[in-house]
Each structure stands twice: as structure tokens, then as C-alpha cells.
A and B are shown apart, each in its own frame.
Chain A
Amino acid sequence: MAGFDDNEDVNFPTKFKFFTQTLLWNVGTYYEFFSNARVGYNSFSSFAFGQLKDSFPTSAPVFYRTIKYRMFPLETFFRLKPNIELNFTLTPIWGRGKITLETKPASGSGGWTITDDWNVLFNSFDDDDPLDQVASDNNMKSDWIGYSGMIGIRYYFRPWMGLDFKAGFLNNGYNKEKWRFQGKRVMGPDLTIDDLPIFSLKLVYALR
């Protein structure tokens, strides 16, 4: 995530990088519509937050960043043994990135405004088209599509509960020029998320 980690203008929080970038929280639900197939919804999320004191000394805004990979997987599987399953997943991805700045209105003698704060952030992402004013909505968003393929193994330690390990790839069509802020196109951070290997570990609970 070069747009955050190597940003020269804004010092983004990178203290717990493993938890905020490498590790994604995974939640999902599946419906088994056939004896060997299931369909569902799965969401991998990465969160980061922190106060940007150094780069915005006047307002010291709080920064939140979320990246979500929403998946709609179609999975087929078979059981090697009564308690071991092999599964094969292909899924489209609807990815969404969201950056929020909780910033303050003008304070001090400098006359620094919310608009200035946002312009500093956009400039740090190489956006050279500053905004004149901003509304009260305070986040920038980007959506993209992608696809993913995974092969996994699941061990059932109870008939209704198991551990599922998957390995595969994420291919995202992310474009840093396609962020939106209050209806205007703005530049977003450089993110190298187009070709990512992915390893997923899930605790599975089954109901019928």
C-alpha cells in the first residue's frame, strides 16, 4: 500500500501494519443448494485508523481507512473422508475502499479549514486539482470489480463445526483515479492490490 506507507506528505499510521494491512477479517454465510455445491457471500475487510497529528498540526484529524473485498462465491466440494472435505471456489469481487477524515472547522489564527485538510490529503495522493469547499459528508470512496479463485480443505472436528483453510488469489481492477468525494472525481492512494495471493482460515458452523 505505497499510497499510505510511502506517502511523503502525510504520515499515515503504519504501526500495526500486520493487523491493518496483511490480516483481513473474514465473515461469510453460505447456502448448500446441492449435495456438492454451495453459494454465498463472503467479506474480507481491512481496517486502519489513527490521528494525523504531524501532517495536520492545526486540526489533527482522525483518519479511518477500510478496504472491503465482497465476494459472491460459488463453491463445489467433495468429502475425502467423513470429516475431511476438499473445496473449489470461484467468485466475483466487488471491492470498496473508503477513507474518512474526522476533521475540525477553522481554528487558531491560521484560518485553516476542513477544505484545506482534504486538499492536503488529495495532494499527497498526487491530485493537483484542489477543492474550493466541502460539504459535511466527510469520506471518499472507490469501487472496483475483480475475481478470485481458491482451493481449500476443511476439517470437521464436529459434524456441524469445522476449520476451513483456503489458498488462492485475488485479482482486483483497482484504479487510483476512480475515487469519489462528494460527487467529484479525485485521486486516491496507490494500492498494489491487483494480484494478491490469499490464504483464508475460517471457523465454520453449519445449520440445516
Chain B
Amino acid sequence: MKRLVTFFLLWSLCFGNHPQKVEGPNNPCADPILAYARKHGIKAIPIKDLIHYYRTAKKCSKAGGEEVIQQIRINEYERDFRRSKTMASWTSTYAVCVGMVMFYYFLGLFTASKPDNT
């Protein structure tokens, strides 16, 4: 019995089938991560999936899907632009304050004279 088990173990080690490689989708542009990026934006992709996204986007571009990748970028630019093209609430007041502080600072720097210590 022991010999039989040893024989099968050796047999399977020597002649066992290699694990079959699972092939990815033939069309890299159909990868779900690109669909996710199109819908939510590239910035929304979790950090652990970012490398996968970049690789897939590169493969997709090489496979003729340059426009798909371009469209993802344009969508994200547009989404960000819509959110922040105008200043809302207190942010414009704050920006004016920053401008005034800078204006008076540089005005003082160039026009004010330092008191003589002697």
C-alpha cells in the first residue's frame, strides 16, 4: 500500500498536468475596471487596483481603444470642472481675503521703511 501511494505521488509529480492558465478577456477594453473608471472616475479606483487599471488602460490603448481611455479622461475632467467651476459659499470671500493679505503684504514690503535701531 505504501509503495502504491509513493508511486502515485511520484507519478503525479512527474506527469501531473500543469495548472491551466486562466486567460483574461480577449478584449482588454471590456475589462470591468474600465467600466468602473468611466462611471466613477479614475480617482475613485481603490489604490490596490490602480496598477491593474494602468496596465489595462495601456493594453486597451495598444489594442486600438485609445478613444475609450481618452473618453474616461474627458469624462473625469468634465465632472471635476462641473463641481468646481464657480466658487461656492464662503470660498470666494476667502479668496478675496487671500488676495488682500498678499496685496498689503507686498505693498508694505516695497514701500515701508524699517525703523532705525541706532
Contact = CB atoms under 8 A, between A and B. Distances in A.
A77 interface: yes
B85 A168 contact: no
Interface stretch (A7-15, A22-30, A32-40, A53-61): A32-40
Chief secondary structure at chain B's binding surface: helix
A78 B87 contact: yes
Interface stretch (B5-13, B19-27, B40-48): B40-48
A69 to B, nearest CB: 16
B29 to A, nearest CB: 19
A169 B44 contact: no
Contacts of B91: 34, 36-37, 76-78
Interface string A53-83: 0000000000000000000001011110111
Contacts, number: 83
A88 B95 contact: yes
Contacts of B109: 169, 195
Interface of A: 34-37, 74, 76-79, 81-83, 85, 88-90, 149-151, 156, 158-160, 168-169, 171, 195, 206-208
16 contacts: A37-B94, A76-B95, A78-B84, A79-B81, A82-B77, A85-B84, A88-B95, A88-B98, A149-B98, A151-B99, A156-B77, A158-B73, A159-B42, A160-B43, A168-B102, A169-B106
